Amino acid sequence: MTTTSVPPGEESAEDPSAFDRSLVPFLMNYKFGLDEILTKINILREELAFRGTGNPIEHVSSRLKSPESLRVKATRIGCPLDLDAIGEQILDIAGVRIVCSFIADAYQVLDMLTTQPDVTVRAIKDYVANPKPNGYRSLHAIVEIPVFLSETARTVPVELQIRTVAMDFWASVEHKIYYKYDKDVPGELVEELSAAARVAHDLDTRMAELHRIVHG
């Protein structure tokens, strides 16, 4: 791949669309990476449903960063508007969110995906056992997926976020609040969010215990 490094801001002054045009084939590789990991997830869902042992996956969503979103993040972190630099420094260009019923399910799904022989784990962050200060809980992983094209093969990083329904609901509300206040959230709302995060975790714990009593 041949790329040209341009200091942030300088490229847009000459041709605002040049960087976006160069990203089209670049992002296509990440789209294919998403397709690969989504296929793996769908296979697991169908297999577990067929076995009748209970499907741990409630629903799945995916997203691919837009050229504008990539430009904004690259500028924010001081990454040159260069495809090689972006590919090295920004690892959440492609992302998949998997929502599970129970905390144990989230760990199970993470293990099922990350132990497949063609999946390489670059990083795992356990925000379930070690939540962020604001109460955010989720399992995060950066995995690399091989993508086989007509004339070559590429390895594409994909970010996985695996969480429970309660965690996902809390994160969705938190995101909307921070967007509404442009990240300058009043202190009382921050406290309410932290309290809600504790309630969500308590719900996860209680529901897991009910599940254990019924099915254990």
Residues catalogued as catalytic: 159
Task: Tell me how far apart the alpha carbons of residues 91 and 209 are, in angstroms, rounded to a whole number.
Answer: 36
CA within 13 Å, CB half, 89: 16
Task: Tell me how far apart the alpha carbons of residues 170 and 100 are, in angstroms, rounded to a whole number.
Answer: 14
Per-residue b/e over 62-80, b at no fewer than 16 CB within 10 Å? beebebeebbebbeeeebb
Q: With H, G, I as helix, E, B as strand and everything else as coil, classify residue 130.
A: coil
